[in-house]
Amino acid sequence: MRAPLYPLEGVVSWNMNTTCNYRCSYCTQRFSDDRSRWAADLPRFLEAFLALPGDWELKLSGGEPFRHPNFLEAVQALAAGGRRVSVVTNLSADREVLAAYCDRVRVRPGVISASLHPEYVAPTAFLEKCRWVADRHQGPLVITVVATQALLPRLPAWIAEAEALGLRLKLQPEKQDREVIDYAPEERQALIQLGGHGGTGRIDPNFEGRACWAGSRYFIVDHLGEAYRCYPARRYRSERLGNLLDGSFRLRPSAEPCRYRYCNCVVPQERGMVDAKEPDVRRTHEAE
Ligand code: SF4
Ligand code: SF4
C-alpha cells in the first residue's frame, strides 16, 4: 500500500446546519429547523478550525449554509484566520448576500459549488444567476445537479447551456438510503458519458484497501461537532475522530487504508488524497 504524496492543503467538509429552505424529493439529508445551538457553538467551531495544524480549506455545506444565521460572520472569521473558504449552496440567497460572500473570501477564495434543483428553480434563470455570481467570485464556480432518472434526458441540454455561459455543470448520482440508486445499464452508461459523479468519470467507485489521507488531511464534521474520517465513515458510524467542541477531536497522523466499498467523497479523489487513477475494484470485477 503506497500512500499518495502528503496533501499540503487539508480540507474540512463542515455540514454547519441542517436547515434548508427547499425540500427536494431526492434530498438525502435531514432538514430540521432546530436553531437552538447555532449561535452558542460558533465561537468554539471557529476556534477549533483555526487551530488545525497546517494549511486548510473549509468547505461549508448544510442543509443550506446561507440559512445559518451567522453564516457571513463565520466566513469572515475563517477568511481572516487565513483559511480558504468554499461553499456548497443552492444559490437561493439574495444577490446582495452572495456578493457579500464573494467579497469576504476575496483574498483566498475557494470553490462555489452551486446546486441546481429544478423542482424549485428554472434552469435558465439559475444558470444566469450562476454567471452573475461567477463574475464576482475570484475563485472557481461549478454547478451540480442530481441526475435523477427522470432528469437524465434533459441533462445534455443543460450542460450545453451552461457551457455557452462559460460554466461547468457536473452530475451527482441519485442516492437512496445513502447508496446510489439502481440505474439501468444504459442509464449508467449515459451518466459516465456525461462525466460521472462530479466529473470523476465514475459513479460509485470502490477504493477499498487503498491508502487514503482522509482522517488526516480531510475530514467531515456536522453541526454538533461530530467528526468522521469521511462520509462513508459517518454512514457506518465508524472511524469517528471525536468531537470538535469537547476537546476529544484527533486527526490521524498519516494515510490509512480505505475500508469502504463505495466512496462518494469527491474531495479526496480530486485532491489526490487517494489514488483514483487506477481502475477501481468494482470496475475490475465488471470487466471480468
Ligand atoms: S437544496 Fe440541498 S439540502 Fe436543501 S432540500 Fe434540496 S438537496 Fe436537500
Ligand atoms: S471512502 Fe473515499 S474518502 Fe473515505 S477512506 Fe475510502 S477513499 Fe478515502
The pTM (predicted TM-score) of the whole model is 0.94
Which percentage of the chain shows pLDDT scores above 90? 87
Q: Which residue has the cell 428554472?
A: 122
The length of the chain in residues reads: 288
CA of 54 to the centre of ligand 1 (A): 32
258 close to ligand 2 (CB < 6 Angstrom):
yes
**pLDDT tens, residue by residue, 156-208:** 999 999 999 999 999 999 998 878 999 999 999 999 999 999 999 999 999 99
> What is the average per-residue pLDDT within 59-88?
96
pLDDT average, residue stretch 269-276: 94
Identity of the amino acid at 157: A
List alpha helices for 53-119, DSSP H: 71-80, 95-104
- Residue type at 163 in one-letter notation: E
Which residue puts its alpha carbon closest to atom 6 of ligand 1? 24
Q: Which ligand 1 atom is nearest residue 146's CA?
A: 7
pLDDT of residue 279: 67
- Is residue 260 lining ligand 2, measured as CB closer than 6 Å? yes
Q: How far is the CA of 181 from the centre of ligand 2 (A)?
A: 20
Which residues neighbour 96 within 8 Å (Cβ) at sequence distance 6 or greater? Answer: none
Dihedral angle sign, alpha carbons of residues 277, 170, 195, 260: positive
Task: Give the pLDDT score at 242.
Answer: 98
**Does residue 167's CB lie within 6 angstroms of at least one atom of ligand 1?**
no
Q: Domains of the chain (ranges plus CATH)?
A: 9-204 (3.20.20.70)
Residue 81 in this model has a pLDDT that exceeds 50: yes
Which whole number is the average pLDDT over 131-144?
98
Among 99, 113, 108, 98, residue whose Cα is nearest residue 78: 108
| Three-state SS at 224 | coil
For all residues of the chain together, what is the average pLDDT?
93
Q: What is the mean pLDDT of residues 28-46?
A: 78
Whether residue 228 has its Cβ less than 6 Å from ligand 2: no
Burial 109-132 (b: 16+ CB within 10 A, else e): bbbbbbbbbbeebebeebbebbee
Q: Is 220 in the pocket of ligand 2 (CB under 6 A)?
A: no
For position 127, what pLDDT does the model report?
98
Reported as a single tens digit per residue, the pLDDT across 227-272 is: 999 999 999 999 999 999 999 999 999 999 999 999 999 999 999 9
Q: State the closest ligand 1 atom to the C-alpha of 29, by its place in the atom list counted from 1.
A: 8
Residue 35: which pLDDT band, with cuts at 50, 70 and 90?
A: low
Ligand 1 atom at shortest distance from the alpha carbon of 23: 5
Q: Which pLDDT score is estimated for 36?
A: 63
Confidence of residue 286 (pLDDT cuts 50, 70, 90): very low
